[in-house]
């Protein structure tokens, strides 16, 4: 894997790989008439919006700022959902949204009069109480979940003005998980789907993964659409940029405390928070799990957080100050979730074009750190 030389740390997004993913999504839309939206919570690099805009039908937003970004920079449909909406934000939110989904009957009743004067399509998020995700922090249907209306709290007498239903049960899931979810959806909410114009199947569909069952997905979408005569939306985030990004970082120092520890010019906690939050060990080009090769290292971040650890790896070669490491699949849930803990500078954002040239899109400075504070 040869990249032109660049300063580190840097998020590097491959245009060629994004185009490959978009071809898959384009074919699915053509086969099913479903509309695929970009979930901004996963990836919001607006420099690439014109490319994504050629294929995708719009964006899904989870806040006022995401809705504004989608409206101003993507310029297609903006589907907004949040667990609750603030009065002070709602008028602005309406001006940016083509669709608004309410998380509770209470919120729908509270804002209904305002919605009746607009052309915005309104929906309710439902919770089928069907879990497909093992990690509870990423399971929208876990016990006591605040996300969506359970059938026991679904009020069929409050559906006037509601045009759609939204559900979300998946995370990095194959189509068989959606198949099981739909059985639960139809069993609990099937009587109401025929009253709707659209149903949003949420995110978590790992569509562009090599082993993803695209045929099963298309069959499920087509069968559901024919049965209920509704427009179907999907809002993947990760699948759109899966395997499209890299995070390049450099070794600063090597220390030893019962094992060799390489300190990098970056931070797991600040620059790829899911590594600590989920947690998981990301892939590094040329590295394997411990004891696969001759040289073993723990890779650590440069903040003072004791748990700022990327993971333990094995290399064919010795690491030394200046060695560059390439973390793979780093487009999604990195830039949108990073932070400046300890005043650590945020990584550059760059594009790798189809001629293998790197273009730096954004460089962060001290002012970005200072201006966030008071």
Confidence tier at 303 by pLDDT (50, 70, 90): very high
The pairing of strands 231-234 and 348-352 is unpaired
What are 299's two structure tokens?
A: 């890779």
At 24-59, the pLDDT tens digits run 999 999 999 999 999 999 999 999 999 999 999 999
pLDDT of residue 1 exceeding 70: no
SS3 149: strand
Across the range 330-358, mean pLDDT stands at 97
What are 194's two structure tokens?
A: 């025929």
The whole-chain average pLDDT of the chain stands at: 97
Across the range 254-263, mean pLDDT stands at 98
What is the chain's alpha carbon radius of gyration, rounded to the nearest angstrom?
A: 22
At 141-174, the pLDDT tens digits run 999 999 999 999 999 999 999 999 999 999 999 9
At 189-228, the pLDDT tens digits run 999 999 999 999 999 999 999 999 999 999 999 999 999 9
Spatial separation of the C-alpha atoms in residues 84 and 283, rounded to whole Å: 36
Across the range 75-92, mean pLDDT stands at 98
Give how far Cα 284 sits from Cα of 15, 174, 228, 293, 323, Å: 20, 24, 45, 14, 13
Q: Where are the domains of the chain?
A: 33-240, 245-330+338-370
Contact criterion met (CB below 8 Å) for 18 and 239? no
What are 288's two structure tokens?
A: 């394997």
Q: Please provide residue 315's backbone torsions phi and psi, each rounded to the nearest 5 degrees.
A: -125, 155
Contact criterion met (CB below 8 Å) for 322 and 8? no
* Widest Cα–Cα separation across the chain: 68
Spatial separation of the C-alpha atoms in residues 91 and 317, rounded to whole Å: 58
At 88-125, the pLDDT tens digits run 999 999 999 999 999 999 999 999 999 988 999 999 99
Confidence (pLDDT) at 167:
98
157: alpha, beta or left? (left if phi > 0; alpha if psi -120 to 50):
alpha
Q: Which helix (H) or strand (E) holds 22?
A: helix 15-32
CATH fold of 245-330+338-370 = Lyase, Ornithine Decarboxylase; Chain A, domain 1 (2.40.37)
What are 8's two structure tokens?
A: 């580190």
Confidence (pLDDT) at 94:
98
Spatial separation of the C-alpha atoms in residues 331 and 350, rounded to whole Å: 11
Confidence tier at 3 by pLDDT (50, 70, 90): confident
pLDDT of residue 344 exceeding 80: yes
Contact criterion met (CB below 8 Å) for 319 and 284? no
pLDDT of residue 4 exceeding 90: no
- Look up tokens 């395997």; give the residue: 243
Shortest CA distance to 233 belongs to which of 205, 198, 268, 259? 198
What are 40's two structure tokens?
A: 């901004």
Please give the class, per CATH, of domain 33-240.
alpha beta
pLDDT of residue 176 exceeding 70: yes
- Look up tokens 């667990």; give the residue: 83
Contact criterion met (CB below 8 Å) for 284 and 48? no
């Amino acid at each position: 894997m040869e990249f032109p030389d660049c300063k580190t740390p840097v998020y590097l997004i491959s245009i060629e790989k994004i185009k490959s993913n978009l071809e898959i999504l384009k074919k699915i839309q053509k086969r099913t008439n479903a509309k695929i939206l970009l979930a901004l919570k996963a990836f919001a690099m607006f420099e690439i919006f014109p490319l994504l805009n050629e294929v995708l039908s719009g964006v899904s937003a989870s806040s006022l700022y995401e809705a504004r970004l989608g409206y101003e920079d993507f310029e297609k449909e903006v589907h907004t959902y949040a667990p609750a909406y603030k009065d002070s934000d709602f008028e602005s939110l309406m001006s940016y949204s083509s669709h608004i989904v309410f998380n509770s009957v209470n919120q729908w009743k509270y804002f209904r009069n305002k919605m009746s004067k607009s052309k915005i399509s309104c929906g309710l998020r439902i919770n089928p109480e069907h879990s497909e995700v093992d990690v509870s922090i990423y399971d929208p249907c876990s016990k006591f979940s605040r996300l969506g209306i359970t059938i026991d709290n679904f009020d069929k007498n409050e559906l006037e003005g509601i045009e759609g239903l939204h559900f979300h049960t998946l995370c990095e899931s194959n189509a068989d998980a959606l198949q099981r979810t739909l059985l639960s959806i139809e069993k609990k909410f099937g009587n109401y789907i025929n009253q709707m114009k659209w149903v949003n199947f949420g995110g978590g569909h790992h569509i562009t993964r090599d082993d993803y069952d695209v045929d099963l997905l298309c069959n499920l979408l087509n069968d559901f659409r024919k049965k209920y005569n509704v427009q179907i939306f999907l809002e993947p985030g990760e699948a759109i940029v899966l395997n499209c990004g890299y995070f390049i970082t450099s070794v600063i120092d090597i220390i030893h405390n019962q094992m060799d520890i390489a300190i990098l010019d970056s931070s797991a906690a600040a620059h790829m928070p899911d590594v600590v939050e989920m947690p998981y060990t990301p892939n590094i080009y040329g590295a394997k799990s411990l004891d696969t090769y001759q040289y073993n290292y723990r890779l650590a971040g440069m903040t003072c957080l004791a748990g700022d650890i990327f993971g333990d790896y094995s290399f064919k070669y010795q690491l030394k100050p200046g060695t560059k490491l390439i973390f793979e699949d780093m487009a999604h849930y990195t830039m949108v979730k990073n932070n400046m803990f300890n005043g650590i500078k945020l990584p550059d954002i760059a594009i790798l074009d189809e001629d293998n040239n790197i273009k730096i899109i954004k460089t962060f400075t001290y002012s970005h750190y200072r201006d966030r504070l008071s």
